[in-house]
Amino acid sequence: ETPLTAEQRQQMLVDALVDVAGGFIEVCRRRLSEEQVSPEELLDGLRQMVSGLQPLHELEPSSRLLLKVTKAAETLAKSAIDTQLATLTSRFSVTVTELSAAAEDDSGRASSPHNLSRADAA
């Protein structure tokens, strides 16, 4: 068996790093998609993933690591936006319900016999 050249060894290392990075991307995607991860933490994690994989992408652009990271980031960002939108919609609905109930209470009090007799006395 002939010994590997330095270039072949380097390519083997780069290939191994690409495989590890692919697994890293998947682990990060799963971790960052958990509900308890805040949007700020999500964005910071995505930023770290992209910046951490940039040097490896430059060594091996054909690995398309940044494309994989970008797709994972887009999916996570859309999911985070959907979650935030659902939360805001729910809060808005609760607020509207509470305001409607308060308005009905105010209307009921204004037309109650007790309040009407006060108005007549004035």
DSSP string, 70-87: HHHHHHHHHHHHHHHHHH
C-alpha angle 109-115-116 in degrees, rounded to nearest 5: 120
The rounded distance, in Å, linking the Cα atoms of 47 and 55 is 14
Tally of domains within the chain: 1
For residue range 56-74, list pLDDT tens digits in order: 888 878 878 778 878 877 8
Strands (E) across the chain are located at none
The rounded distance, in Å, linking the Cα atoms of 117 and 102 is 22
Instruction: Classify residue 102: in a domain, yes or no.
Output: yes
Range of the domain at 30: 6-121
For residues 100 and 75, which has the higher predicted lDDT (pLDDT)? Answer: 100
Instruction: Classify residue 73: in a domain, yes or no.
Output: yes
Question: Model's pTM, two decimal places?
Answer: 0.54
Mean pLDDT of 4-30: 84
Q: Is it the case that residue 117 has pLDDT exceeding 70?
A: no
Cβ contact 25:68 at 8 Å = yes
Q: How far from the centroid of its chain's Cα atoms is residue 40's Cα?
A: 8
Cβ contact 89:77 at 8 Å = no
Instruction: Classify residue 1: in a domain, yes or no.
Output: no
